[in-house]
Structure 1
């Protein structure tokens, strides 16, 4: 298993859950999402925190990676936010 695959298999469920929380109103804004990730998970605040990380990946890349790992289960099935 490559370092890249380890990265995606660890990050995608967290990113997917973050998008679900945003879609369902668990967090009110992308700023709140990044703050929650920083305070709750210790996610680095560099370049905009969790939301900045999502934006740096890009929506197309995020969708592509989620589709790539969808066979692993619902943790990798992209959320409504990604569906446009």
Structure 2
């Protein structure tokens, strides 16, 4: 997955987040449904941003950015702990 693809995925997730908020405002989904899906979106966004940062770091260090792979959501989410 190249940088452009990762950024495209990030933009798609952000668009979905906006749609969820609109659906909640229109009463199409419950607050609980919105929060559950937002949590999933946030985890996916964290995973994408992590991959993009690692690809850029690899490139800056003279390594092959294509050797970088997405880490699991659990691994990315545990960085702050």
After TM superposition, the score normalised by the length of structure 1 is 0.36
Higher-Rg structure is 2
